[in-house]
Amino acid sequence: MDKNKTGQHISHQFNIELNEIRNRVLEMGGLVEQQINNAIKSLVEGDTNLANAVIQRDMKVNAAEVAIDEECSQILARRQPAASDLRLVVAVIKTITDLERIGDQAERIARMGIRLAEQERPKNGYHELQNLGEHVARMMHDTLDAFARTDIEAALRVAKEDLSLDQEYDGIMRQSLTFMMEDPRMITRMLDVMWIARAIERIGDHAKNIGEYIIYLVKGKNVRHTSLEDMEQELQD
């Protein structure tokens, strides 16, 4: 057999495998995105059935991470990829870890929502948490879109958006503390609100992490734990 043809066949099959793991990451991301939206909706509407569905579906998120991680391990063992191919596999492994943790946070929101559904609902219907949740859901959508297109500019925008999310989160925390000081009867509920806000904020951190992996994939540069200014400079180099 012609060695060139053999090499082309192996290369073609390898590309198929790489595209497959990219697609599976996006499928897992879509599931996680739905978990976020349903968790927030169940909280705002006091829908315990939807909250329980989120809790049950977390097993699918976990299973997806295990399956993709195993596939990546097999690719590393069989193909021994180098350069950009290796960066893709590494980025996928890191990304699915963050996606699984986002799934955990969505499950936590759902569980806390069930607790809040048993209490008297505030007049605003947890409007502040709904806004924060919708904000992070947009970040998650944009991050997955950036991953699909390997768009580093879009990934950088997600990192910038995380700063805005953090400010919104800080506002909720200050407001909650004020409510507790003004009316001690609200302490239990406000503590739950603060824990949910924290879970939503953590989702934003994980979305930002995925954006950083996209930059690593495209540029080959590790921009974790760097400022936005330094990150922008790295992209210009």
pTM reported for the whole predicted model: 0.91
What pLDDT, on a 0 to 100 scale, did the predictor assign at position 185? 87
What the block records as the tokens of 196 is 């949910």
DSSP 121: P
pLDDT digits (tens, 9 = 90+) for 17-47: 999 999 999 999 999 999 999 999 999 999 9
**Residue 74, class by beta-carbon neighbours within 10 Å (0-12 exposed, 13-18 middle, 19+ buried)?**
exposed
What the block records as the tokens of 48 is 């315990």
In 80-183, which ranges are continuous DSSP H helix? 83-117, 127-149, 152-182
Q: Is a pLDDT exceeding 50 seen at residue 144?
A: yes
Mean pLDDT across 7-21? 78
Mean pLDDT of the chain: 90
Terminal Cα distance for the chain, rounded: 45
What the block records as the tokens of 106 is 């969505």
pLDDT band at 5 (very low <50, low <70, confident <90, very high): very low
Q: How far is CA 97 from CA 31, 79, 90, 186, in A?
A: 14, 22, 11, 36
Q: What CATH architecture does domain 3-236 belong to?
A: Up-down Bundle (1.20)
What pLDDT, on a 0 to 100 scale, did the predictor assign at position 155? 93
Place of tokens 């998120």: 61
Mean pLDDT across 203-222? 92
Mean pLDDT across 125-132? 90
- What is the percentage of the chain residues whose pLDDT exceeds 70? 91
Domain ranges of the chain: 3-236
Please say whether the beta carbons of 112 and 43 come within 8 A.
Answer: yes
